Amino acid sequence: MADVLADLGHLFLGSRLKRLAERLQADAAKVNKAMGVDAQPAELALLAAIDQLGPLTISAAVESLGVSQPAVSRTATGLVDRGLLTTESDEADQRQKTLKLTRSGRALVAKAKEAAWPFIAEAVRAMCAPLEGTLLEQLTALEGQLNERPLETRALDIAKSHRDTLAIRDYSDDLAQSFYEINAEWISSMFTLEKKDIEILKNPRKTILDDGGFILFVESAELGVVGTCAVMKVDDGVYELTKMGVLESARGRKAGELLLQTALARADAMKIDTLYLLTNSKCAPAIRLYEKLGFVHDKAIMKKYGAAYARCNVAMRYRAT
């Protein structure tokens, strides 16, 4: 059947561009869903704007996204209802509301930036790279590529080829030795195993699991179990992210980031009041990752819990909102 919008050329260019945009958007939504990013394209666009620019008023979001105020307001309301955004009255203008990412919102954006967006972008770049000729000719070529192979298929194939398959595993007793060895490797390479380290690493079930905490592992299809971390109860409503490490041989595979994202999602589901970690300034790459996923430096945490380890000179708290 004839393609009427293509045949009529410039007359219905707007309709044709809208059709293409909706097609790309629908496929991108499928990729996000397949990679565990639970949000619609309009929602992700607003979350991305706030992630990139910081807290925004509705008016500022409208300006940054170039869409209508009613559309932004509807999207923001839905995201607030889902717990991904919070609103605060603007000090200069009480009629204006400032939109901020919550902890869950930051975690969702971090997951999208890691698990889906790079592969969507690479797939679109690859389709656009060979385009030549007039705008209409380029549109025809781009539509032809999508007919031949949808964006969804292209992006997911790229994701599969770009990284080793990583999977998260919960603790089981057969992984007790891995829990010890992975942590002993990184601690011993930079510091000295302390009494508290040994107590936790040799008795993970007693010190962590039996008191309501959890231990996760990340497993590489190529290398096996390569990383671990734990969330351990310290006081009522207070938990410590601890014993997080990735084997030296597995660095650069984003295993640590996947591990931390999963641990934070699990902690969110537990409705933990305070989640903190203790580390050392020598662990600069790890600190940057913690900051990226929502931890902030906290003097009160340092004062109250920092003495647990002689090597501790950095304390961080996971932001509640």
* Domain boundaries for CATH 1.10.10.10 within the chain: 4-148
pLDDT digits (tens, 9 = 90+) for 266-320: 998 888 899 999 999 999 999 999 998 999 999 999 999 999 999 999 999 998 5
Concatenating the DSSP letter of every residue in 254-272 gives: SHHHHHHHHHHHHHHHTT-
Backbone angles phi, psi at 224, to 5 degrees: 85, -155
Model-level pTM? Answer: 0.59
- pLDDT digit string (tens) for 67-110? 999 999 999 999 999 999 999 876 666 677 899 999 889 989 98
Q: Which two tokens stand for residue 225?
A: 């179990």
* CATH fold label, 4-148: Arc Repressor Mutant, subunit A (1.10.10)
The CATH class for the domain spanning 163-318 reads alpha beta
For helices 151-162 and 117-128, give the axis angle rounded to 10 degrees: 120
Where in the chain do CATH 3.40.630.30 domains reside? 163-318
Residues 6+ apart with CB under 8 A from 20: 139, 142, 143
Beta 238-246 vs 274-279: how paired, if at all? parallel
Please give the Cα distance from 145 to 131 (Å, whole number): 10
pLDDT at 178 over 90: yes
Q: Which amino acid is at 260?
A: L
Cβ atoms of 68 and 62 within 8 Å: the answer is yes
In this prediction, residue 222 has a pLDDT band, given cuts at 50, 70 and 90, of: confident
Query: In the prediction, which pLDDT does 249 show?
Result: 85
Counting Cα atoms < 13 Å in the Cβ hemisphere of 204 gives 23
What does the block give as tokens for 190?
């930079």
Q: What is the per-residue pLDDT across 37-65, written as a single tens digit (0 to 9) for each?
A: 989 999 999 999 999 999 999 999 999 99
